[in-house]
Chains A and B, each alone.
Chain A
Amino acid sequence: MANLTPARTLDIKQILAYQRNRYPVLFLDKVLELVPCVRATGVKCYTYNEWFFPGHFDDEPNVPGFVQIESLVQTFILTFLCQEEYVGMKTNFVSMNNVKFKRKIVPGDVLRIDAELKSFKRGIAMGCAESSVDGEPACSAEFVVAVPAILDQYKPKP
């Protein structure tokens, strides 16, 4: 069983324990640094064995935009899901703003993701993340993410 104690780094077993994304939609391999409720730095290594490369595209494989966004947000949610009371909770997008794609990501690229949690209150998390390959900016976005299990605790009763 994975150790759920907050740590400075996370391996794949700990990532699987903290959050609910699984193959084929888990786009994070490890976390290099995690400061609970503040920030996280993750890494995703893309190889041609990824399921989407043959279809996107057969003559020019590159990482689809939605996958890049998922890499960002999956790193982002770990900033609060690493807290004992939230471990393993599912999350939903509420909104995304200022999404920018600046570099094509291709097989062999190692994506670094830096995510920052700006606020987390009553199941609503706000923050941002940006990714890079070899120091070159790749993708960035601002997020609002909800944790439905927490929101349910505050819903008016019928």
Chain B
Amino acid sequence: MELNTPHQEWDLEIKPHDTVFNLHLKDVWNYRDLLWLLVRRDFVSFYKQTVLGPLWFFIQPIFTTIVFTFIFGNLAGISTDNIPKPLFYMAGTIAWNYFADCLTKTSTVFKDNANIFGKVYFPRLIMPLSIVFSNLVKFGVQFALFLIVFVYYLIQYHYFPENLEPGEKVEPNLLLLLFPVLIIFMAILGLGLGLIITALTTKYRDLAFVVTFGMQLLMYATPVIYPYAEALKKSYHLVVTLNPMTGLIETFRYGFTGGGQFYLWPFIYSIVASLVLFMIGLIIFNKVEKDFVDTV
């Protein structure tokens, strides 16, 4: 054995322990092509051998909006902050769905990819990221639908106000510009929580069951089918206030419609909470990914 090569530079060093904060982001960047190919795979395999293809992306929010409008708007008569009901519910639904999809899909990333993770190395973070981007494609399609509905009501509001119910208004404002930021933070929040859950489920499987119905319950703790203003009137509003999605969804809806008001502190809280959860998620995920293959 020659030991006279201490000067040799190594490209890669595999060691048992790495610092918690080494997130291998450079590695992720090197594999960016894989990220796009995975997004493409998800999209293509989604509509292959379906008759309606990408149209399915529309069907779900349309029907959810119709059902919500009927049940919560007309039957239950819950306030919509003077926003036309379909617009109100559709805004809530597509935003919530994006967040929920990011979360639920990333929360099973280890389980779903155990086989491929056990056979080949690539930065594991690529998988959850590809999920977020795949969902972004889906969200984009649904958002286009939302824009159509939005423009329709905008025209109604300005030219045919008699078609709207009394008091209903659609008044876009400057906060509309926050829209890209809101989408990024919904993704970050969903991803962060998803990463934490998937990391924990490699050891404690029970969590996987919690996610499915937990997400349903969480939706009711988020101003999707009711405005935040309504929740504030109740004694249990703290639950809604502490939910980081609240600030994001409220701001999203307010920017487009001007219904209700802009809640600054819940918004700032959402941003901070999302970032914190995302960092925690990244660190835990990064720690678990190293040897989860041995335990799964």
State whether these chains interact. no
